[in-house]
Copies of this chain bind each other. A is one copy, B any other.
Amino acid sequence: MKWKRTHTCGDLRSSDIGKKAVLMGWVEKRRDHGGLIFIDLRDRYGITQIRIDPACKVYEDAKKLRSEYVAGFQGRVERRPDNMENKNLSTGEVELVAEDIDLMSIAQTPPFQISGKISSSEDLRLKYRYLDLRNRNMQRNLMIRHQTAQLVRNYFSENGFIEIETPFLMKSTPEGARDFLVPSRVWNGRFYALPQSPQTYKQLLMMSGFDRYFQIVRCFRDEDLRADRQPEFTQIDVEMSFIDEEDIFAIVERLVQKIFTEIIGVQLNLPFQRLSYEEAMMNYGSDKPDLRFGAKIHNLSALAKESDFQIFRQTIESGGLVAGICAKGCAAYSRKQIDSLTEQAKSFGAKGLVAIKIKDSDWESTLNKYFGDAQRQAIIGELAASDGDLILIVADQQDIVLDTLGQLRLALAREENWVPSDRYEFTWIVDFPLFEYSKEEQRYVARHHPFTSPNLADLDKLQAHPQDVHARAYDLVLNGSEIAGGSIRISDEKIQSKMFQVLGISHQEAHDKFGYLLEALTYGTPPHGGIAFGFDRLVMVLTDSSSIREVIAFPKTASAMSLMDGAPAQVSERQLQELGLQFVQELHKPSSENAE
C-alpha cells in the first residue's frame, strides 16, 4: 500500500471540504463524463464519489478501472457542483478529487450484479458467496446478527450470567435427531459426537454451582433434507439455578424487549401473554399460533350434535369434533376457490370441508335444511360471523380437525393479507404434555427431552397415566414461529430414572448413555431450568429475512452441502486408513450430483 487509509467511504461530509484524504475500496461504477472520470468507490461503510480530472497524473490509469477493482485514492475533498449532490448518499455533498491512485487488485467481471436488488439464483450466490456477501443487504444482515449477539452477551453478563464454553467433541447419545459422528483416530473404533445442544453440560454446570450460565453456541443435527434447516445452527443457551418458570420468563422477556428496542426500534409490552398448550391447540390448531390476526377456531360440537346433518352427528357420536372458523369477507369466494380450500383440508387429513356463505344474516348453503333457524343463528353467533363472511367447518377426529383448521387459518391469512406487517405478537405456550406416543416406535417419547420435569402435581401419574402428565416446559412463540423453548429440569435422580423407564429406556441403556448425569444428580443438585433460543431464526425476524441462509455467512444448501468449497468431499485413502475405516459400499446418494 502506498498510503494509510484516512477515512472510510462513509465518512466524508461537507465539513471535510478542503481536507486531504485517502480512501480505499471497491470500484462500484466508473463513469466518463465530459472529460472527467467519476468513480463510485464502495466499502462497507458507504460510497464516496471520486473525481479524476484530465490534468491528473494518473488520469490514464483511472481510465482502466473496472467494476470491483480494489484501489486507493489520495486527494482533496471538494464540494460537488450545485445540483450535483446525491441526496441518497450520506457523502453525497462532496467528492474526492484524486491526485494519485494505488491500484491494489484487478477483478474479473463478477458472475452476477453485486449491488442493488439480489436477482441471481441462490445456487450461484452460494458458489460465489464471497461476492454475494458484498451486497449491502447481506452486510446489513450480518451486522445485525453481530449487534444482536453483542447485546445478548452484554445483557446476560450484566445480569450475573457467565458464558462457559462446553465441548464440541462429546459422547453420542442420540435421542430424537441423529448425531453427527467424529471417528477417533487415537481410540480406534470409537466416535465422538457433535452436540445437538449443550443440554447435559449446562445441567452439570448448575450442579457445579454456576447458578446463571449462558452461551451462544453452535449445535449440530444430522437431519434429512429440509428446505429451511441447516446441519449446523446457533443457539442462545441459558440455564439458571434456584428458580422457577417465572424467573426464566422475566429474564427472557426483558432480553427480548431490549433486543427489539435497540436493534430494530420496536417497543414491546411486558409481560408477554401466556396460552396453555390446550388453549393454543383448541383456538389455533397449533402449539405455535400466529396471534397477529383472528379467525380463531370455535368448537361447534354442542351445536352440531343437535342438527340433522348426519356427518356431524356421527362424528360427535364416535368421539370426534366439529369445529369451524370464520373467514371474514370471503363470502365472495368462487366455486374454484372453495374447491381449493377443500383440497387443502384433505391434504391435512380431513375427509372434507363445509363452507357456508353468510348473506342477509343467514346461511347461503345447501345445508340450511339440516339446521334449524336457531341452530344456524347460534353457529353464526358463536363464530361472530356477519354478512359477507365465509364459515368453514370440519368434522373429524379432534387432532385432524384442529390441524386442518389451523392450517386453513394460516393459508387464508396469507391469501387475504390478514397479517399486518411490523406487528410482533409474542406468547408463551405452557402446560405441555410431557410425553407423546410414537406409533412408529410403539412407546412414549419425550415431547421436549428426557430431562424435562413433570408437573409436581402429576408425579403420581408418571407410570400409570403418562399421557396425562404435564411438563414444566415452555415455548416462546413469535408470529407463529417458535423462537425459544425450555423447561424446568428434573433435579432428582429417582424421578430422572423413572422418566427413562417410562420412555422405555432400560436401566442399562440409561446408565450407558447418561450414567454420569444420573450420578451427578446424587451429589447435591439445585432446582434448575433454562431455555434455548434459535439464534438464526431470531436474526431472520430482526432482519425480516425469508430464508435462514440470508443470515448465515457461509450456509449450506438443503442437502447440507457447501456449494463454495464442495464440502462434504472425498478424503484421501490415508486419512481413512488412519481412522481404520472403510466404506461398506456406495450407498444411497441424493439424485442431484452437483457436489463439486
Kindly state whether residue A565 has any CB partner on chain B within 8 Å.
yes
- Which residues of chain A (424-466) have a CB below 8 Å from chain B? none
Query: Could you say which of B107, B134, B586 contacts A208, with CB atoms under 8 Å apart?
Result: B134
Question: Of A146-154, A300-308, A314-322, A337-345, which stretch is located at the interface?
Answer: A146-154
Q: Is the CB of A134 within 8 A of B554?
A: no
By a CB distance below 8 angstroms, the chain B residues around A194 are: 168, 182
B190/A516 in contact, CB under 8 A: no
Q: Which of A91-99, A116-124, A269-277, A569-577 lies at the interface?
A: A569-577
How far is the CB of A114 from the nearest CB of chain B, in Å?
9
- For window 103-156 of A, CB contacts with B under 8 Å fall at 104-108, 110, 128-131, 133-134, 139, 142-143, 145-146, 149-150, 153-154
Known contacts A129-B204, A171-B566, A570-B189, A210 near B139 by CB under 8 Å: yes
The 8 Å CB contact of A491, one of B105, B174, B185, B220, is B105
A561: CB under 8 A from chain B?
yes
Q: Check if A187 sits within 8 Å of B133, measured CB to CB.
A: no
- Among the 9-residue stretches A356-364, A373-381, A388-396, A518-526, the one with 4 or more Cβ atoms under 8 Å from chain B is A518-526
Determine the chain B residues whose CB is within 8 A of the CB of A142 once the complex forms: 162, 164, 210
With A110-B523, A134-B209, A567-B169 already in contact, the answer to whether A150 and B139 are too (CB < 8 A) is no
Q: Which of A157-216 contact B (CB under 8 A)?
A: 157, 162-172, 174, 178-194, 200-201, 204-205, 207-211
Residues of chain A at the chain B interface (Cβ within 8 Å): 1, 5, 24-27, 42-45, 68-70, 72, 104-108, 110, 128-131, 133-134, 139, 142-143, 145-146, 149-150, 153-154, 157, 162-172, 174, 178-194, 200-201, 204-205, 207-211, 218, 220, 222, 224-225, 231-232, 234, 242, 244, 491-492, 516, 520, 522-527, 552-554, 556, 559-562, 564-572, 575, 577-590, 595
Contact B190 A522 (CB under 8 A): no
Given A190-B595, A232-B169, check contact A130 B523 (CB 8 Å). Answer: yes
How far is A129 from B133 in the complex, measured between Cα atoms in Å? 43
Q: How far is the CA of A142 from the CA of B201 in the complex (A)?
A: 14
CA distance A588 to B571 in the complex (A): 21
> Roughly how many angstroms separate A588 CA and B189 CA in the complex, as a whole number?
10
Supposing A24-B242, A575-B179 touch, asked if A190 and B570 sit within 8 A by C-beta, the answer is yes
Contact A191 B571 (CB under 8 A): yes
Q: List 13 A-B contacts (CB under 8 A).
A: A68-B524, A105-B526, A128-B523, A133-B209, A165-B552, A167-B556, A170-B565, A171-B568, A182-B182, A186-B225, A186-B590, A188-B583, A516-B566
Q: Please state if A584 and B580 are interface contacts (CB–CB under 8 Å).
A: yes
Contact A581 B578 (CB under 8 A): no
Least distance between A586 CB and chain B CB atoms (Å): 6
CB distance from A577 to the nearest CB of B (A): 8
How far is B587's CA from A564's CA once the two chains are assembled, in angstroms?
36
Q: A568 touching B192 by the CB < 8 A rule?
A: yes
Max chain B C-beta neighbours (<10 A), residue from A172, A192, A584? A192
- The one of B143, B231, B491 in contact with A162, judged by C-beta atoms closer than 8 angstroms, is B143
6 further contact pairs, Cβ within 8 A, besides A167-B562, A581-B582: A108-B522, A130-B204, A153-B153, A164-B553, A171-B562, A186-B224
* A537–chain B nearest beta-carbon distance, Å: 15
Q: Tell which of A69, A211, A232 has the most Cβ of chain B within 10 Å.
A: A211
**Minimum distance in angstroms from A535 CB to a CB of chain B:** 9
A568-B165 contact given A24-B526, A139-B209, A595-B190, CB 8 Å threshold: no
Tell me, in angstroms, the Cα distance from A69 to B142 when the chains sit together. Answer: 46
